[in-house]
Amino acid sequence: MRLSTVVHAAGTSAAVLDGTTWRALPAADLSALLAAVPLQRVAGLAGDALADAVPVLPLPAPGKVICCGLNYADHIRETGRELPTYPTLFPKYADTLTGPEADLVLPAGLQVDWEAELAVVVGTPLRRADRVTALAGIAGYTVANDISVRDWQYRTLEWFQGKAWDATTPLGPVVVTPDELDPAAGLQVMCRVNGEQTQHDTTKTLVFDAADLLAYISTFTVLRPGDLVLTGTPGGVGVAREPKRFLADGDVVETEISGIGTLRNTVRFTG
């Protein structure tokens, strides 16, 4: 299945894609649906076709959005580090997320960088789960760009303040269920800025895969349906270039993962 939240002629709804038609699911959005209905029951709930449906932020209300840094072997090497024993984790908020075509509005003068990432959507409550349980608890996969304000990220030891600017992490456009997509088989993760490819790697090279991350996180905190785990970004970010490159007002960032879809977001700096 390909699931999302869509805006349509009569409102907003959770929805499932049926060919090229979005069909209504019985919830206001996909966060509410996953909180209310086991994933196995979703297929049987598809209702009316929705006119003029356009996918928006699929998961507007995750309780937890947890990101893994330094998880692609080549990105780790470009930052000058060794392959890690443990995942480096930091959080964002539901407030940090924005839609697949939304503008990225930020104050002028910040060092804004791109980070294309595979995002994992939790489908069942996970608490001290092993890898097998964690894998079975995945609702699906979507695309994210962990847009980072590098000057704030590196103001202190903790990255959080550069990673949690409201409405700057685009997500979507759809959540693809695991029966249709296997990151272990290798999904192409790509970022383009104004059409120029800046990142391209495969999820085959992830140091910690989706099940590893969910199991590890669930050791210290419960994960619930609709929560998100971002799996880290491959090499090619702007801050690691020589000279460093950051996003400018009007830049168009495209984030694509094969088998899922593409985010297309324009940077808008305010005065």
Residues found near a copy of itself in the complex (CB under 8 A):
63-64, 69, 84-91, 93, 95-96, 149, 152, 155-161, 164-166, 217, 220-222
Residue that is written with structure tokens 């790509």 in the block: 190
> Considering the complex, what minimum distance in angstroms separates the CB of residue 217 from a copy of itself?
8
User: Do the beta carbons of residue 170 and residue 104 sit within 8 Å?
Assistant: yes
User: Please, what is the minimum distance in Å from the beta carbon of residue 33 to a copy of itself?
Assistant: 21
How many whole angstroms separate alpha carbon 118 and alpha carbon 145? 8
Torsion angle of the four alpha carbons 115, 70, 65, 230, in this order, in degrees rounded to the nearest 10: 60
AA letter at 234: P
In terms of CB distance, is 93 or 269 closer to a copy of itself?
Answer: 93
Minimum CB separation of residue 205 from a copy of itself in Å reads: 19
Q: Write down the least CB distance from residue 236 to a copy of itself, Å.
A: 21
Query: Within its chain, how far is the Cα of 106 from the centroid?
Result: 19
Q: Which is nearer to a copy of itself, 101 or 151 (CB)?
A: 151
Minimal distance, residue 216 CB to a copy of itself, in Å: 8
| Closer residue to a copy of itself, CB minimum distance, 69 or 226 | 69
Q: Nearer to a copy of itself by C-beta: 131 or 264?
A: 131
DSSP symbols for the chain: -EEEEEEETTEEEEEEEETTEEEE-SSSSHHHHHHHS-HHHHGGG--SB-TT-EEE-S-S--S-EEEEES-BHHHHHHTT-PPPSS-EEEEE-GGGEE-TT--EEEETT--EE--EEEEEEE-S-BSS--HHHHHHTEEEEEEEE--EEHHHHTTSS-THHHH--TT-EEEEEEEE-GGG--GGGT-EEEEEETTEEEEEEEGGGBSS-HHHHHHHHHHHS-B-TT-EEE----S--GGGSSS-----TT-EEEEEETTTEEEEEEEEEE-
Task: Please report how close the Cβ of residue 147 comes to a copy of itself at its closest, in angstroms.
Answer: 12
Residue 117 CB, nearest distance to a copy of itself (Å)? 16
Q: Give 101 or 166: the residue with its C-beta nearer to a copy of itself.
A: 166
CB of 219 to a copy of itself, least distance (A): 8
Q: Which CB, 188 or 219, lies closer to a copy of itself?
A: 219
Which lies closer to a copy of itself via its Cβ, residue 114 or residue 216? 216
Q: Closer to a copy of itself at the Cβ: 201 or 227? A: 227
